[in-house]
Structure 1
């Protein structure tokens, strides 16, 4: 046990949040789960209050989940946490790192600037340009800028015909004025989650589709399986996560006929996939990592 006080920003009652809180309590004897929906920022007094607890008085805060759903309000919640960070509270991972990830486009641009291979991507507000991109790609996945587990994504194919395709794009644009679309790649119903702690590789699990769905997410019927990637794939994932300087993350990688590609780097990482697919107790390891960093 230590005298360190580390709070968990997450969703009370959710498995990953409570599992991390359990692991931290085992390490420190202190337990605090914070729902950002209940937090009040008092800038006059430089206080960030969660009930009777001033988060600015804690030693650390770990962000397991900033919101139930990915949306632009996540950015506002991260800005609030910057006040605690400014007061000397160590945030795992730093707010600046997460701010560069929760928006899909921001993550993509950073990866592209680092020379990381990704699916062919088009970002536009023009329906005509989006239509031309689908025709060029043959088939494309339209993705909201704020989403996880393929929520809100739509697969569109050039074979639909110009009129039907334009209608589909118009409907997507009504909900997503800035359209982000990527060429659909053949993954043989499998993609990888590659786990990193403090920038060091821990292991890999696969998400394997069990249905005829075009994506492999657990939300759409996929399941976790163990997987041992080649060293070149590990090296690629390590390069992909490095620019973000995260304490814990999962890199989503696809294996194609033309070589491995990266889809995204997770702002928060996945505990369940690591545990069920790779036998990695990420919560316990992460808790130890935080205590180690705060003791330095």
Structure 2
């Protein structure tokens, strides 16, 4: 019997389409779902998108819940709980992804798990933020909902307009997430896991002198061979979240390795370009094995 698996993502985006292609090649069924078009009817118990009831599918793969992280994206995940209540398998489970969309929620889980992270301060108070900047010397102010370093602000303690920039940041981000700037030595790592199993590690190497190494800021992918100890750190970091496919962002600093975050959806492009691994095919095989049991 053909399994009907939908891909929740961004239509037209490479990783979404690659995953849909991989599932189609194995099942003959192709469905890309844009959650912006979904309609949840609580009385009818349906979650419709372009005429398809997601509650009637065999499974759903979460590749992207929204193009940009925001509180609205959390609501889309909540809607998916209707499909889960109808016993549709979701990869990764909506409730697990909920704990990652908010940067603070991810950080708290990592901290409770005793994962090494950069010194971090969270506050709504501008005076406290200014004191944190003075302690750190240089700090990155991060929105609670963002990807690829969007909306982040790098400040140094000696910046003459630091107070004004903090005030402007707080106007957009009432809860300020302030993290000591780490010495990345021009690169950081993405460590890839499938169902908790280590796959590979790629490096993001700065090409522009930017303070961050994201591809969005001009970084390039490269292969990386981590030590067993570093792989174990990545495994411990992703373990509390129970994700199907994820990437752990790790930096190697003079003080030792630190973890920045665990990705809600993982880096398909990094696995492909940095490691030569077809993540879409591996995820498709895993999902089909799970829904067939």
Q: TM-score, normalised by structure 1?
A: 0.98
Corresponding residue of 2:264: 267
- Following TM superposition, by how much is the alpha carbon of 1:280 offset from its aligned partner in structure 2, in angstroms? 1.0
Within-5 A mapping of 1:85-104: 85-104=84-103
Corresponding residue of 2:146: 147
Within-5 A mapping of 1:42-57: 42-57=41-56
- Following TM superposition, by how much is the alpha carbon of 1:27 offset from its aligned partner in structure 2, in angstroms? 1.4
Corresponding residue of 1:258: 255
Number of residue pairs aligned between Structure 1 and Structure 2:
293
What is the distance in 2 between the residues matched to 1:284 and 1:240?
Answer: 24
Corresponding residue of 2:128: 129
What is the distance in 2 between the residues matched to 1:274 and 1:195?
Answer: 7
Task: Give the superposed CA RMSD.
Answer: 0.6
- Following TM superposition, by how much is the alpha carbon of 1:35 offset from its aligned partner in structure 2, in angstroms? 0.3
What is the distance in 2 between the residues matched to 1:181 and 1:279?
Answer: 35
Corresponding residue of 1:294: 291
Match of 2:244 among 230, 247, 257: 247
- Following TM superposition, by how much is the alpha carbon of 1:31 offset from its aligned partner in structure 2, in angstroms? 0.5
Residues 224-272 of structure 1: CA deviation (Å, up to 9, x unaligned): 0000011111000000000001000000000011111000000000100
Match of 1:211 among 208, 223, 230: 208
- Following TM superposition, by how much is the alpha carbon of 1:165 offset from its aligned partner in structure 2, in angstroms? 1.1
What is the distance in 1 between the residues matched to 2:183 and 2:52?
Answer: 49
- Following TM superposition, by how much is the alpha carbon of 1:295 offset from its aligned partner in structure 2, in angstroms? 1.3
1:25 matched to 2:21? no
Local SS of the residue matching 1:201? strand
1:238 matched to 2:235? yes
Corresponding residue of 2:220: 223
Corresponding residue of 2:71: 72
Residues 142-168 of structure 1: CA deviation (Å, up to 9, x unaligned): 00000000000000100114xx11111
- Following TM superposition, by how much is the alpha carbon of 1:10 offset from its aligned partner in structure 2, in angstroms? 0.5
What is the distance in 1 between the residues matched to 2:36 and 2:243?
Answer: 24
Residues 117-156 of structure 1: CA deviation (Å, up to 9, x unaligned): 0000000000000000000000000000000000000001
Match of 1:282 among 275, 279, 293: 279
Match of 1:188 among 172, 185, 189: 185
What is the distance in 1 between the residues matched to 2:101 and 2:221?
Answer: 24
- Following TM superposition, by how much is the alpha carbon of 1:29 offset from its aligned partner in structure 2, in angstroms? 1.1
Residues 201-244 of structure 1: CA deviation (Å, up to 9, x unaligned): 00000000001110000111100000001111100000000000
Q: Which runs of 5+ in 2 are unaligned?
A: none
Local SS of the residue matching 1:204? strand
Local SS of the residue matching 1:160? coil
1:169 matched to 2:166? yes
Q: Which runs of 5+ in 1 are unaligned?
A: none
What is the distance in 1 between the residues matched to 2:78 and 2:167?
Answer: 33
Residues 37-66 of structure 1: CA deviation (Å, up to 9, x unaligned): 111001110000011110000010011000
